[in-house]
Structure formats: C-alpha cells, structure tokens
Amino acid sequence: MSDRLTPDKLEARLREIGAGRYHIHHPFHRMLHSGQCSKGQVQAWALNRYYYQAMIPLKDASLIGRCEDQALRREWRKRLDDHDGDDDRPGGIERWLRLTDGLGLDRADVTSTRLLLPATRFAVQAYVHYVRERSLLEAVASCLTEMFSPQIITERMSGMLANYDYVTPEILSYFDKRPPQAERDASFALGWVKQHARTPEQQQAVMDTLMFKCDVLWCMMDALHYAYVTPGLVSPGAFVPRGADG
C-alpha cells in the first residue's frame, strides 16, 4: 500500500475482508446451521471450539498486561469479565460448558482439552501468541472478526434450534449475550484502530491482522471438516463420536 486511507475507507476495506474470508462461508458451518451434521459432528464442533473460548481470557490478559493506556485497559477488562464471569454470574466459558454438557459430552473430557484435534490446538495457540508478540495495534485489530459475529450467531441459533431436536434454548444460552457484547467490543476496537492506524504501513498491518484472524477461524473449520466429514480421518487421540452417526 502506498497511500494512506481515510478512516472510513480503512473500515470499508476491513469489511470487504470479512465479507470474503469470515468462516460463516465455510462448508462445515453451512452443514452445522442447516441441520446436516450428525450429533457426533455437532459434539466435535462444540468440544474443539471450547479451547478457543477458554483461551480468549489468556489472550486478552496478555494484551492488558502490556498496555499503558488506562482507557484501553479499562475497556478491555470487560472482555475478561464476559468470559470468566464471577461467583454470582457465569461467564462465557461456563455457558459454553453448559452447551457441551447438554450435548452429552463429559465435562472433564472437554476441559482437559486432551481430545482436541491438533490443528485446533495449533490454530488457537497461534492466535494467542500473535496477540502476545505483535504490536498493540495488531493485537487490538485481531478481534475485529467480532464485527461479523452477530450474523453467524443469529444463523447458528435459528438453524440449530430448527434442525436438531436435542438442542434447546437452554443449551444455547451462551449465544444469548454474545451479539450485544460482540457489537460493543467490535465498535470500540474498530474506532480505536481507525484512530491509531495513521500510516499506510499501520493500516496494512491492521488488514493483514484481520486476514490472519480469519485464517485462524477457517483453519479450525478445515480441521473439523477433514476429521469428521471428508475424508473422515480423525487425528490419533482426538475425539471420536460414539455410534454409527458420528
């Protein structure tokens, strides 16, 4: 990139990236939302996605730990509260475990992460290390996929409730609070990035970061599809659904 973009043009570029690369387009997600997944495939998705959910607070804490901007730290602490919760209010991690409980998975198996697909572990760890090691601007920009998450959550809830008789609103309670949280977080991060990406090089770094984050999420879907759809090669030691419908 040779010319500096206006903040609004930068936002437009970011939205173009999301429109083309966000994992809402992945074949596995299309299967999941349209009722084409077996229960074993739904379980595999929930179990592997748990690792992503559980690592988000570690990622956010690492950003806070090297941030000298008090206003940014204060805003980012909301994310820790959202995911970790407290003694009186369950956070996103606990609500995700209610999903895996409701799908019939053993909680100890889920929280141990011993049944993860290797690609899931590698992709999530790559995301955590990216936030820890790259510039603060890139670390903030890595969450910009939240701009697109309300749509995927809406499709997921309506599709899963309509197509899987074992899925209930209680099981999907994780998603009740996520759209407004994601919209709040994305709005703040987008505004911060538009303000602080002042040079063409910084703006390119922001766009590259969003592409990286989309790649992380896409890679996780690729792993699920390869292991549990076609060719159906489950990694040694990873979760194997019970029964013929897995």
pLDDT greater at residue 131 or residue 150: 131
Give me the pLDDT at residue 2, please. Answer: 65
Half-sphere exposure of 202 (CA within 13 A, CB side): 17
Tell me the pLDDT band of 89, cut-offs 50, 70 and 90.
Answer: confident
Please classify residue 121 by burial: count the beta carbons closer than 10 Å to its beta carbon, then call 0-12 exposed, 13-18 middle and 19+ buried. middle
The whole-angstrom separation of Cα 144 and Cα 29 is 20
The whole-angstrom separation of Cα 75 and Cα 189 is 10
pLDDT at 1 over 90: no
The dihedrals phi and psi of 38, each to the nearest 5 degrees, come to: -70, 165
Q: What is the pLDDT averaged over residues 171-182?
A: 88
Q: pLDDT tens across 31-53, in order?
A: 999 999 999 999 999 999 999 99
* Residue 90, beta-bridge partner list: 85
Where do we find the tokens 């749509």?
Answer: 151
Radius of gyration of the chain (CA): 18
CB atoms under 10 Å from CB of 16, counted, come to 12
> Are the beta carbons of 137 and 196 closer than 8 angstroms?
yes
Nearest CA among 57, 95, 97 for reference residue 77: 57
How far apart, in Å, are the Cα atoms of 87 and each of 81, 84, 94, 168, 213? 11, 10, 11, 25, 32
pLDDT at 246 over 80: no
> Are the beta carbons of 202 and 140 closer than 8 angstroms?
no
Q: What is the pTM of this model?
A: 0.94
pLDDT at 244 over 50: no
Q: Between the CA atoms of 221, 127, 144 and 211, what dihedral angle is there, to the nearest 10 degrees?
A: -70
pLDDT at 213 over 70: yes
